[in-house]
Every structure is written in structure tokens, then in C-alpha cells.
Structure 1
Amino acid sequence: MNHDKPDWSAMVKASSIPNGVFTENMKQTVMSQVQQDQRKKMNNPFYFVIITLLGLMICVTILPLIDRLPTNAIMGSEAASDQNILLDYEPTKDLKFIPETDMGVRDSTLLRLPITSVQIKETVIIDGFGKYLNYTKAEEGDTSFFGFELSNHFSSANGEFYEIGYGAMTEVNFQKSDAFGLADLRMDGRCGPQRKCTYWISLDQDVVKVYYQMNAPTIYEQDLDGDGVTEAIIVTDGTQIYIYKNIAGQIQSVNVQSALQTKYGDTVTYDPVSQVFQLTNEDETRRYRYAAGGDKLRQLDE
């Protein structure tokens, strides 16, 4: 399409004003002509077709490049924070009767009794630690009780021992422990056909306390967050993993599977050597380690 353009040079030369000055009337004439040309272009349907095609070409070219960018280049520090799993520790519930599924760690101050006040049924000597005692009481008939006597402790010199309570244990073992920054000893053993019980023993002059867990087949005691206080990592028979931590003097727990929001088919394991929690399913494997100085799991780079 051919649009006739005015000869601005001829107009200037034909002007009655000397020296070819560009007058205000001439300026208005130029602006009017430019505006007319713009309106003609906007009214031309091919103009919009060309703009639309150019927009599509830009999208087709740039979007694949954006998809190739790493996530953290797009999201910045937010992408890294998504890889951290916050651990929501919960205190142990105060229950009168402890159900089979309960995984809380509770504490109890032990009663000190003279050995002559009970009828000993079984004694298991643990070298360097003391004795496990299974006994009955005259006033309780045939009801079985159990407790322990400590070596090199003032109570043993006085012919006394500490009572844990009703029941009995088999396969008893003592070992040193500094779990939760509270324990001095740990006593493990079976307290039922399918159950292993653990008692962390705290010795404080003449006061002896136990922190007990009623279903702890596998226990690792490690300082996960590097604060100098030992946590306990417990793996149940059902392969559930719990972390127990001393929070303001109270032992609280978190279920690792729940924290990782596992789904059906996911498997979670713990490697005590590398202190790595690993989540595996048919699509991926993710590895986590406890973050130093914070209650969260940090995802490790592959």
C-alpha cells in the first residue's frame, strides 16, 4: 500500500519566513500526519496478526530455557528451605494405663527397700554394675516384682536395693549410658514374649530415677544435633523410627516417618555410622541428616 508523503523540504523552502525556519503550523501538520498513519496501522488486521505471532515465537523460544534452569536459580533460598524437615517433638502423654502402641519415655523415682523384706526368686549378677533381682513380697502373695542392686553404691552397703515394679525381665543386661544428659546406666531386657524394655537409670546421691521405654528392640545413643547431649534413636519391631530428646528437662519424642510424611510403599532406615536417615520408594531415594543446632532433618545432596 502506497501512502503519499508530503515534501517537507519543499514546504520549508516555500515558506515566507526566511532561513527555512520550521514553524508551529508546520509542526502541527507533521504531528497530524503521524497520528493518521498510526491509526491506519492499528486499523489494519494484519498488524494484530503479526504482533500475536511474535508473542508466540517469544514464548516458544524462552519457556524451554526457563524449564532448564535449576530450581534454586528460580526460587532462591526458598528451594533450599523446602529440603529441611522440621521435627515437631511431643511430650509423653500422662496415662494411667500404658497401651501397647505407646512409645513414650516416662520417669519414676525408685523406692529403696531392704533385701531382707522380700523373698528372692532370681538373681542375675552383672559384673561391674550390680544385680538384677526378681522377687515376691509376703503381703502380695505370688505377685512378681523386679528391681536391681548397685555395686559400689551406698545402698548396697546398707543391704538395700531399688524396686522398679511389678513383673519380671529376662536376658537382662547393664551398660553405661549418658542418654539425654540424665542417665548413668542403662538396663535392657525382655519384659514379655515380643517386647524389649529399657530403663535409663539416673543416680543422684540418694535419689535414683529411671526413664523407661516399653518397646525398644533397637536403640542407638548418639548426639545428633551436636549440642553435647545424647539423643536416643529407637527402631521398633514394626520398623518405625523414633528420636528421643531432652527438651527443657523433659524427654520428648518424634516419629521420623511422620515427619517425612511417608506414604504406602515408602521405607525409612537409619544408619548409625553415618547418622543418615534414608527414605526409599520406587521413584526415588532421599537421604537426611540431623541439622546441627536445630531440630530439623537436612536433606543431603546426591
Structure 2
Amino acid sequence: MNQPKPDWYEQAKGGPFAKPLFTEEMKQEVNRQVMEERPRKRNFAMWTAALTIGVCLTGLLLFIYPNINSPAPAPASPEPSLNLESPSPVPPESTQTPETQVPELDEQIRLVYENPLDFPGAYPVDLRRVEATRIPKASVIVKRTIEAEGDLGNYFIYVKNEGDSQLYSGMEILTGGVGTLPTSDIYELGPAGELPYLDDIEVRGSYIFGEFYIRIYGVCGANCVTNDWIHFEEGLPGVPIRDFQLNTHIQEVDIDEDGISEVIATISSTIGEVGIFKKINGQIRFVDLNKAFQAEHPYSVIYDHNRKIFSAIFPNLKRMYQYKKGEDVMELIQNAEGGKDPLIIGGLYDGTDSIQLQVGKASLEANWFKVPYKDFGLYLPSSIKEVKFEDGSEYEAENGMGIIQFRDADESTLPYLRKESDLAQYSEYVGTEFWGDDKSIRYDYFLYEHDEERRTYIAIRYKTKDTEQIRPLFLSVVANIRYAPDN
């Protein structure tokens, strides 16, 4: 079927003019001029004539036969007037991206907790109520048996078919109470990671949202984990029920110090994301800290579990926040420029007798000690004891692995110090002194300034070989120093 030709087709075919522009008379005139030039420079004239004809024909063809793929020409517009004061336009490839503006935030940010299901895809959370299914134990292939601490029973990690990689968790069913024989069935609890990470699976008791759960932690990849919390109800005795599943890295922390632990979820990919789950009026609710800190992509938020500090990361700036005690409020601790983090939370002592120190994955109860003859104090776990002298006290790990000392903020009394890279990230770090020819003893110095006039040095002393074992505990203690004037 022949398609109708567009308007420009006939024009292109026959040309825009009724008569040819390069007539026979024009050709003869060109030849005449060529012949007249021949006596002077014969060869040059011949090439000139050929070139002249070629240029004319080429120009004419381009004028008559435009590109048929080009759109119809737009109507001619009036010639714009010249504005000498206007800058020349910048080519698209040279356009400069405006400088990123770091958002201005208040020193206190009130958090708004919302339904986590209103954030689809943000965090892989499942709040559906799922009752465990009873299946024959003989129908699965058990790869590992975990005896949970605290008489919480036995748990089986298994695959459903030989050659499978997907792991599942199941709970042993007893014929009666604790100590009775198991039945031939188990309760299937759900997926629990992948076979290469079989030994990383954990089952432990968990106190979150003011309730007791059993938490099953599984690993499915380098940055892929599963967390399932199960509990039991009087209406279904012995039947595990899951109503909270979170497939990302988490910490169980009493972040607002009200005696009830929340769940802090972190996602690390191209950026860092942090959210907090807590129970409000019997419902699990969620706050996205990237949104609260205005640190959404491409910015990041990270959580320091040891110091309970949330950091919003912007270009050349880190804003450090701490959860306010008893309130859903984040308080600004410090703007840390140049990539350094504050180690010491500090602040005025508020009369709290004990806190929970975070040391790695462990949570240690620590009690308040006022430093004699100084306007400072610290929280010590049971593994660190106060040693009293006539002119003050120092604080020694009971295994003799190290001590913590307070010193006057007099720079003239400091020994020669040098900065070590393993502590250079902390803004309060002053430097390190080594003792012994083999540098077997190490003193790390930090400066805490409550304000310009209320300052103190803190030194931690330990054997270099015990760095990884004792220093995390000492740093956690130092991080929780408080200003505590006598009056």
C-alpha cells in the first residue's frame, strides 16, 4: 500500500525553484573565464575551474535537497536585539552544579513515630501475626541443633531437601513441661538464612518493647540478615507466634533510658540509613532518622552503638545527636568538622546513679563515681575498681590490665605525645606516650572541656598487647564522663 507523500516531498524532488539556477549560459561563462586564464598558469587554471564548478554544484545541491529527516523549518522570527549587559550563555556541558547546601537544623529535633507500613521498601519489616506450623521432624534435614540459654528449648536449623541452600528454623516440641521427652514433630518458624552461614545463626532471649521474646538471627549474605521475634500467648499454649520480623542489622537498646528497649535498625549500602522501632499504645511504630535529620540520599546517618550517638553525615560536616532521656527528642551534641568524631558525650551530671555502658555487643551496668578533688565524675562497671590515694583516685581494671587517670588541664605537665592513627578519629584525642624500649606500655591522653574554664585531661594506661581486649571498655567509660561540680 502506497503511503501519501508529505508536502515537502515534491519540493525536494523537483526543487524549490521552477527553473534550474545553474543554466547553460552560466556554464559557458565559467569556461570562457577558464580559457582566458590558461596562457598564464595552465595547470593551476584547470584545477581552479574544476574546483569552482564543484563548489557551485555542491552548494546548489545542498540548498535544493535538504535532509528529508529534518523537521519542517520553523517560521522566521524577528532578529533579537543585542543586550551587551547579558552574560553569554554557558554550553550545557559546561553548566556548573550549584554548591550543596547543608540543611539548617535545630539543636533539638522532636521525633515523630509513624506506622512502618507507611514506608514501603524503606525497611524490610513484616508485622503480620504468623502462628508456627507443626511439621514432622523426619520431613526435614537437620543441619544444626541450637540449645538456647535460659531453658528456652532446642532449636533446629534445617533444609527441606538435599542440595538446598535455604535454611529454616524450627523449635522442638516436648510431650510435657521442661525436662520431658520431645515429640516427633517440630514447629517451623520460618527462613533463617543461607547454608554457607549456618554457624552464624543465633537463638537468644530478647526483651524489647517491655515484653519477652525469643529472637532468631540468621545470615543470608554479606549484607543480608534476618531477625524474627517470637512469643507465646495464653490462648495458644506452647505455640510460637511471630509478629515482628526485620531483615536488616539491628541493636536492642534502651535509647531513651526509660527502662524499655527499642530496636535500632541500620542499613549500609551506598549510604547509611538508621531507623528506630518502638511500641506506642500497643502498636509498633517507626521513625526514619535520615528524614528527621534531613540527611536523605546522597547523605547518610550512622549509629555508634558504643556511645549511643547518631551522626548525620554531610559534605565536610558531621552532626552528632543523642537521644534525650525520657523524651522522643534528639539533642545536638557537636558539629564535628574535618571528619573527626567526638568521643566524650559529656554534659552536666543529672543525678543518675547508674547507666548501661555499650562495649561491642555487650551491655554493662555501670555506677556513678565522683572523682575526688575534681569537678568531674564517671560511670564504672564492676570490672573497674576505684583505687584511693591521698591526693585523689585512679581507676584500675580488676585484672590489672590497665588504669584510668584524671589530670589537671595544664599543657606544661604533659609528656611528649604523638598522634597515633588508631585514635586520630576522635576530636578529644591529644596523643599517646609509649613506655619501654619495645613500647610495651601505652598511655593515651584525651582532653575533656565542659567549657573553656572547666577542663581536664584523662589518661588511659594499658599494655600494648592488650589493646583490643581492654581499650574498648576504657573508651566507653571515658565517653560517659560528666561535669559534676561540688556545689
TM range, smaller chain: 0.5 to 0.7
Quick check: 1:284 aligned with 2:313?
A: no
Of 147, 150, 156, which residue of structure 2 is paired with 1:132?
A: 156
Give the alignment partner of residue 122 of structure 1, picking from 142, 158, 172: 142
Other structure's SS at 2:211 match? coil
Q: Which of 224, 234, 239 matches 2:255?
A: 224
The one-letter code sitting in structure 2 at the alignment partner of 1:174 is V
> Would you say the 8 A contact 2:172–2:186 is kept in 1?
yes
Q: Which amino acid in structure 2 is aligned with residue 209 of structure 1? A: I
Partner Cα separation in structure 2 for residue 211 and residue 286 of structure 1: 35
TM-score (norm. length: structure 1): 0.59
Q: 1:240 deviation in Å?
A: 1.1
Question: Residue 219 of structure 2 is aligned with which of 167, 190, 199?
Answer: 190
Task: Show the 5 A alignment for 1:178-217.
Answer: 178-191=207-220, 195-205=224-234, 206=237, 207-216=239-248
Distance 1:209 1:255 in 2: 27
Instruction: Give the drift of 1:245.
Output: 0.7
Q: Does 1:164 align with 2:196?
A: no
Letter in 2 for 1:210: R
> Contact 1:234 / 1:241 at 8 angstroms: preserved in 2?
yes
Opposite residue 108 of structure 1, the aligned amino acid is R
Q: 1:285, CA displacement in angstroms?
A: 2.6
Distance 1:135 1:301, change over 3 A: closer
Paired AA for residue 121 in structure 1:
I
What runs of 5+ residues in structure 1 fail to find an aligned partner?
1-80
3-state SS, counterpart of residue 273 of structure 1: coil
Distance 2:320 2:223 in 1: 31
What is the aligned partner in structure 1 of residue 127 from structure 2? 106
Shift of 1:279: 1.8
Which residue does the alignment assign to 1:148? Answer: 170
1:260 is aligned to: 293
Provide closer, same or farther for how the CA distance between residues 196 and 149 of structure 1 changes in structure 2, counting only shifts above 3 A. same
**More helix per residue:** 1
1:127 and 1:113 mapped to 2: Cα distance?
19
Tell me the amino acid that sits aligned with residue 276 of structure 2.
Answer: I
Q: CA deviation at 1:226?
A: 1.5
Q: Is the Cα contact below 8 Å between 2:134 and 2:187 reproduced in 1?
A: yes
Identical columns (%): 24
Match of 2:109 in 1: 85
CA offsets 1:38-92 (integer angstroms, 9 cap, x no match): xxxxxxxxxxxxxxxxxxxxxxxxxxxxxxxxxxxxxxxxxxx932112222223
Deviation at 1:180, TM superposition (A): 2.0
Residue 229 (structure 1) shift: 1.1
Higher relative contact order (CA 8 A, sep 6+): 1
Query: Structure 1 residue 222: deviation in Å?
Result: 0.6
Distance 1:229 1:210, change over 3 A: same
TM-fit CA distance, 1:173 = 1.4
Structure 1 position 195, deviation (Å): 2.4
Partners of 1:111 and 1:263 in 2: how far apart? Answer: 38
Tell me, yes or no, if the aligned pair for 2:170 and 2:190 is still in contact at 8 Å.
Answer: no
Does the CA contact (< 8 Å) of 2:193 and 2:225 recur in 1? no
* Contact 1:110–1:163 (CA under 8 A) maintained in structure 2: no
The whole-number CA distance in structure 2 between the counterparts of 1:89 and 1:125 is 39
Q: Where does the alignment leave 5 or more consecutive residues of structure 2 unmatched?
A: 1-104, 336-487
Q: Relative to 1, partners in 2 of residues 1:145 and 1:162: Cα closer, same or farther, differing over 3 Å?
A: farther
1:239-254 aligned within 5 A:
239-254=272-287
- The count of residues paired between Structure 1 and Structure 2 equals 213
1:76 corresponds to which residue?
none
- Per-residue deviation, 1:114: 4.8
CA distance in 1, matches of 2:106, 2:121: 35
Moved over 6 A (4+): none
How far apart, in 2, do the equivalents of 1:109 and 1:286 lie? 40
Contact 1:134 1:168 in 2 (8 A): no
Residues 251 and 263 (structure 1), Cα distance of their counterparts in 2 relative to 1, 3 Å cut: closer
> 1:119 Cα shift?
0.6
SS in structure 2 opposite 1:178?
strand
